[in-house]
Amino acid sequence: MQSLQNYALGQWVNGSEQGDILLDASTGDPIASVSSAGLDFGSMLAYGRTTGGKILRKMTFQQRGLMLKSLAMYLMERKEKYYQLSYQTGATKIDSWIDIEGGIGNVFANASLRRRFPDEAFYVDGEYAPLSKMGSFIGHHIMVPKEGVAIHINAFNFPIWGMLEKIAVNLLAGVPCVVKPATLTSYLTEAMVKDIVASKILPEGSVQLICGSARGILDHIESQDVVTFTGSASTGRMLKSHPRIISEAVPFNMEADSLNCSVLGLDAKPGTEEFDIFIKEIKKEITVKCGQKCTAVRRIMVPELYLDEVQSALVKALSQTTIGDPRVEGVKMGALAGRVQLEEVKEKISQLARNATMLYGGFDQFEILGGDKEKGAFMAPVLMLQMNPFKHTEAHEIEAFGPVSTIMPYTTTDEAIELAKMGKGSLCSSVITNDDKIAREYTLGAASHHGRILVLNRSCAKESTGHGSPMPMLVHGGPGRAGGGEEMGGMRGVKHYMQRCAIQGSPTTISEITGVFQQGAKYKDPGVHLFRKHFEDLEVGETVITHKRTVTDSDIVNFANVSWDHFYAHTDATSLDGTIFEQRVAHGYFVLSAAAGLFVDPAKGPVLLNYGLEECRFTKPVYAGMTIGVRLTVKEKVDQEKKNEEDIAKGIVKFMVDVYDETGETVAIATILTMVKKRNQA
């Protein structure tokens, strides 16, 4: 029997004492022993801060993102080996796919986020704030990586996804981590971390692993660290109140198991597509991962009129579930992660059953394919009915972390909302309805108590990821019982590992600090037209001031004819009474087009193409007889990687287009996005 290893201070090490014995969830056979005895947690955290952290903080978002992309590709090539280990946790092929390829997909998604960040090691957050009358003093916000370590304390149900969905975010932010998977299924996490370390894709010190107990690690945390926890609400509350969390003001992100609900809309009567979608979704949520998901549906809310049909349909669907060893062909639901979990679920079911009716399931009356029914952690799906959910509140308070769910009736959408809120905060809810008014009413009524709400109907069911699937670009977390935390969420998640700092100074100084040109900053002389310079040679703040053009009546008429935009303000001087316009006004898009004619250098050069426009505003009317000019400024630069050997080496340059009139006042302002060739094509 193998001994699992911990990865600490750049080395793989065994615990110094005999550890826990981990068992196959289906057969009860020993898999490995594991211990963390002898590890110096304080040294591990210090090592992450001083070794991995220093390297990551110097890397740009683009470099970190490409690092994640390489890692995801490397792990995907090795995915099959993880499946064989995953089956030992009781997970079926589908369960394992969610954990393994879902986790790797999360890394890919976060790698793609690099395109939304600058080519810097830090992030410029939001818009500048003018702080003075004449514009010589402004404020802004930057976000820099925290100089600590992310400590991830994960649950047993997703040994890979739970790790990857967290580390992808902290690594993109430039922060190293220590991963503490639940010991019960840590052999799967260990296998992947061994591959991560062997790949040498991540800087040393970026990731460390504790497979055994991490009791005492929070005694060594500091103010720059971040702690995340996934698991039971009771354990999370205990950790959140740790003295070091409080005294060091350490951010603590908690994602706790919650009493999630799914609501069948009043319109989704038997025979509709939505009714069938609902039954299919509920069965999936009860049986996938043997119900061991923090997002699983625990409360099923059904219109009282349809109660009999829902019960009948769900019992029929659940009775078709084949239970057994995931390695046996035909098995649709595996085992709980271990016998301890099985006993805990049985105890919770007994509590739920005090005032509820058991519609389907039980502890002994089921058959299995393969495995060992006595040594394994098998159970049948359990479906209960609570006819008076406002009086008997057990289902709103007790969670059986397994294939267990309770049906409860409601009469109005307001009642469904009230029942949903009785869970006191959930990670997610779903409402299955084809009536958008019901969808709006339920969503706005229940959103305060949920981290995510899925509205499911015939229009999106085929492509929907389902009730229980958090997505990397959306927030995962929830209020109240669910822990009050947020994970993932695209750019929002990355910012959890960064410190926001307000900066103040002159526009020129703030431009130099941020690498983004601020209005009012001093212009730099580029020496030649900006379109003559390669990506590497352009500097933020370099500006071309164009020659000028006087707008005529013919310009306005001709543009109306070419564009077919005959809005009265451009074409009918007799209709201007009561408007803000003094005479026929030039089209805003004409002003922008005329600006392009002024600032574009037409000859072939390093500029490959203009592919977008951002933040376009028309700030002052332009009339015939007015003269306009353009200040074209390099606002920001973002590097791009080559897709292949044949690809042209290039970067993205954002140019500020400031169109002004004869008084010097801005009449239009926009940011154009251009691809600019690099001088060095290697």
Nearest one of 352, 409, 401 to 377, comparing CA atoms: 401
Specify whether 428 is catalytic. no
Contact present, 493 and 485 (Cβ < 8 Å): no
From 101, 165, 255, 399, active-site residue = 255
Rounded Cα distance, 508 and 523, in Å: 9
The partner residues of 228 in beta bridges, in order of sequence, read 152, 253
Rounded Cα distance, 561 and 24, in Å: 76
- 313's tokens: 């349909």
From 290, 294, 399, 636, active-site residue = 294
Torsion angle in degrees (nearest 10) through CA of 428, 430, 436, 441: -60
Rounded Cα distance, 296 and 478, in Å: 14
Rounded Cα distance, 204 and 325, in Å: 39
SS (H, E, C) 158-188: CCCHHHHHHHHHHHHHCCCEEEECCHHHHHH
Rounded Cα distance, 649 and 447, in Å: 46
Amino acid at 219: D
Quick one: angle between helices 588-599 and 553-563, nearest 10? 110
Torsion angle in degrees (nearest 10) through CA of 276, 277, 279, 284: 140
538: Cα within 13 Å, side-chain hemisphere: 36
The full DSSP string for 434-477 is S-HHHHHHHHHHHGGGEEEEEEE-TTTTTT---TT---TTSEEE
Contact present, 406 and 356 (Cβ < 8 Å): yes
SS (H, E, C) 188-252: HHHHHHHHHHHHCCCCCCCEEECCCCCCCHHHHCCCCCEEEEEECHHHHHHHHCCHHHHHCCCCE
All residues at 6 or more sequence positions from 405 whose CB lies less than 8 Å from its CB, including other chains:
282, 285, 286, 291, 296, 297, 298, 299, 300, 382, 383, 384
Could you list the active site residues? 255, 294
